[in-house]
């Protein structure tokens, strides 16, 4: 996860392995895998009129892959300190910072007009 800015939250593992990322999955991560899988399988069933079952399986597989990638990214970002990680800090015995201790760039938008053309 290359980035220019340092992490704003406590770093638990700066370079997590695949096993560490999978073992860090929580209920929300499994939900992020299940929801796109189920929704895309339902969409595939209703959109594939002549070949419903293969279309449902293919769309379900695409939803599973997309949800798995999102869950993997979120879990690794929490371990590396780029996302909020209070549960991980409690599990590993680290102190989670208060809102006043987190740098303001996380909470305050510096340039709100970045999308407007000059």
Query: What pLDDT, in 10s, does the model give residues 8-38?
Result: 888 999 899 999 999 999 999 999 999 999 9
- Cα angle for residues 110, 112, 115 (degrees, 5° grid): 125
The predicted pLDDT at position 53 comes to: 94
Who has greater pLDDT, 58 or 105? 58
The predicted pLDDT at position 117 comes to: 52
The alpha carbon dihedral of 48, 53, 56, 58 has a sign of: negative
- Cα angle for residues 11, 15, 19 (degrees, 5° grid): 105
C-beta atoms surrounding 53 within 10 Å: 10
Among residues 8, 1, 23, 20, the alpha carbon closest in space to that of 77 is found at 1
- pLDDT band at residue 116, thresholds of 50, 70 and 90? low
């Amino acid at each position: 996860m290359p980035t220019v800015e340092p992490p704003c939250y406590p770093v638990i593992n700066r370079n997590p392995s695949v096993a560490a990322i999978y073992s860090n999955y929580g209920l929300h991560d499994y939900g992020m895998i299940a929801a796109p899988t189920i929704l895309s399988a339902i969409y595939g069933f209703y959109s594939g009129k002549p070949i419903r079952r293969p279309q449902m399986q293919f769309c379900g597989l695409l939803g599973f892959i997309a949800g798995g990638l999102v869950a993997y990214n979120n879990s690794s970002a929490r371990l590396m300190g780029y996302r909020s990680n209070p549960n991980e800090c409690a599990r590993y015995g680290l102190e989670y910072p208060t809102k006043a201790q987190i740098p303001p760039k996380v909470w305050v938008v510096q340039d709100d007009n970045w999308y407007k053309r000059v």
